[in-house]
């Protein structure tokens, strides 16, 4: 186990009807709130009204900015910063999924910065101050509700880049599984893949002696694998929605990475995909992660065999660990397919003409990944393996 420090200060308020308490929690941090959200679904399904009623009941003044898209865009962040300054906002309430939360985080750091907020994403500026943020989560996927990171897309040049700081960790996150009943199955499945990917990016490590976090990660994966088909079959299965929602937070609150090197190559490889083609992040990961696994698994057959056995209940063949390890990858891919996810670039209708460009971009700052270090050629090969 490596030395580490761990602190996650976000207050989680979890359960039925908890969004009605958002005014109370917001009032602990701010008076003039920017309510940030995405498309029309929070209005269509009544969440917007419940949130606004709760804010008004708590005597909170607010302005709103909707329109956050999946793979949230820099341009809206810049508009949000301008609005927040004009309205003298002191708190941002993100009502939505990871895209909305990430957009709110970017606004929160840009608010105090004179230059272009993109400087933070290019590591040309350091985060020293941020507006406090709260969350009403409607999509379990990104884990952004208690993380200290944000991923934003700059359309000019199609860059997808991230920032990280404890200053952008939400003060509170309200998680009501009922708010996820109306998610389309495709989006639920994308979320499940994203959650699993967050766990697996931490699971595949070269750090020795990480038994507790291995087991916790396996627990989280099994929970997603068991409950995702349930909610796809019955969208209003509260118990299964709750398991997925809480696991989505645990997957990315930092706990599962304590004491271990993390990988994150698959996320980097996928970011170029969703940066250029605007595919859903989870769908992109469903294509990339198994292709990455196939490329790297020989590097540590024991770990991949453990994954196959403990997560997928594959009976180990001790005389043929490679076969055991391979079965785990096969099961992962089959599972993604079974929940309606694409597992090839072909299924995403992505042609092969820009693979080299993406591989270049993914590695423009050097090799990526730590389980196996990947150069441009390796990333290209993973894209090619993912073709069909």
Q: Which residues contribute to the site for its own copies (CB under 8 A)?
A: 1-16, 18, 208-209, 211-212, 215-216, 218-220, 222-223, 226-227, 239, 242-243, 246-247, 250, 255, 258-259
CB of 226 to its own copies, least distance (A): 7
* Complex with its own copies: residue 242 or 287, whichever CB lies closer: 242
* Complex with its own copies: residue 160 or 309, whichever CB lies closer: 309
* Complex with its own copies: residue 6 or 123, whichever CB lies closer: 6
CB of 321 to its own copies, least distance (A): 21
CB of 137 to its own copies, least distance (A): 14
CB of 31 to its own copies, least distance (A): 22
Cβ atoms of 311 and 343 within 8 Å: the answer is: no
Q: What is the phi-psi region of residue 59: left when phi exceeds 0, alpha when psi lies from -120 to 50, beta otherwise? A: left
Give 1's DSSP letter. -
Q: Please work out, in degrees rounded to the nearest 5, the angle formed at the alpha carbon of residue 304 by the alpha carbons of 230 and 315.
A: 65
Give dist(CA 68, CA 51) in Å, integer.
18
Determine the angle formed by the axes of helices 376-385 and 281-296, rounding to 10 degrees: 110
CB of 362 to its own copies, least distance (A): 32
* Complex with its own copies: residue 11 or 43, whichever CB lies closer: 11
CB of 18 to its own copies, least distance (A): 7
Question: 214 — phi, psi (to 5°)?
Answer: -55, -50
Place of tokens 């292709």: 291
Place of tokens 């002191």: 90
* Complex with its own copies: residue 136 or 265, whichever CB lies closer: 136
Give dist(CA 292, CA 299) in Å, integer.
12
* Complex with its own copies: residue 130 or 251, whichever CB lies closer: 251
Give the long-range contacts of residues 225-229, CB within 8 A, separation 24 or more.
Answer: 225/196, 225/311, 225/312, 225/335, 228/188, 228/189, 228/192, 228/339, 229/338, 229/339
């Amino acid at each position: 186990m490596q030395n580490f420090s761990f602190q996650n200060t976000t207050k989680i308020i979890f359960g039925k009807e908890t969004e009605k308490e958002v005014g109370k929690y917001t009032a602990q941090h701010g008076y003039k709130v920017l309510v940030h959200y995405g498309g029309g679904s929070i209005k269509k399904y009544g969440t917007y009204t419940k949130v606004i009623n709760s804010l008004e009941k708590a005597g909170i003044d607010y302005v709103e900015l909707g329109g956050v898209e999946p793979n949230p865009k820099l341009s809206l962040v810049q508009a949000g910063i301008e609005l927040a300054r004009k309205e003298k906002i002191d708190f941002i309430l993100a009502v939505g999924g990871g895209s909305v939360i990430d957009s709110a985080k970017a606004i929160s750091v840009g608010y105090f910065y004179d230059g272009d907020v993109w400087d933070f994403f290019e590591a040309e500026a350091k985060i020293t101050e941020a507006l406090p943020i709260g969350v009403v989560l409607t999509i379990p996927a990104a884990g952004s509700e208690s993380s200290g990171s944000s991923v934003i897309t700059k359309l000019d040049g199609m860059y997808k880049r991230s920032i990280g700081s404890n200053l952008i960790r939400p003060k509170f996150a309200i998680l009501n599984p009922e708010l996820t009943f109306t998610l389309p199955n495709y989006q639920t499945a994308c979320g499940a893949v994203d959650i699993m990917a967050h766990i697996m990016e931490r699971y595949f490590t070269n750090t020795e002696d990480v038994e507790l976090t291995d087991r916790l990660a396996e627990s989280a994966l099994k929970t997603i694998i068991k409950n995702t088909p349930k909610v796809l079959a019955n969208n209003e299965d509260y118990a299964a929605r709750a398991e997925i929602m809480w696991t989505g937070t645990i997957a990315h609150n930092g706990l599962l990475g304590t004491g271990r090197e993390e990988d994150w190559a698959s996320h980097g490889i996928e970011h170029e995909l969703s940066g250029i083609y605007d595919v859903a992040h989870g769908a992109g990961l469903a294509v990339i992660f198994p292709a990455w696994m196939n490329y790297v698994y020989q590097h540590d057959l024991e770990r991949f065999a453990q994954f196959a056995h403990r997560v997928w209940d594959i009976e180990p063949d001790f005389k043929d660990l490679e076969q055991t390890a391979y079965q785990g990858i096969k099961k992962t891919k089959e599972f993604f397919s079974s929940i309606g996810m694409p597992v090839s670039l072909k299924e995403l209708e992505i042609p092969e003409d820009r693979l080299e460009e993406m591989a270049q971009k993914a590695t423009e700052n050097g090799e990526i990944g730590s389980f196996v270090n990947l150069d441009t050629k390796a990333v290209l090969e993973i894209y090619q393996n993912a073709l069909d």
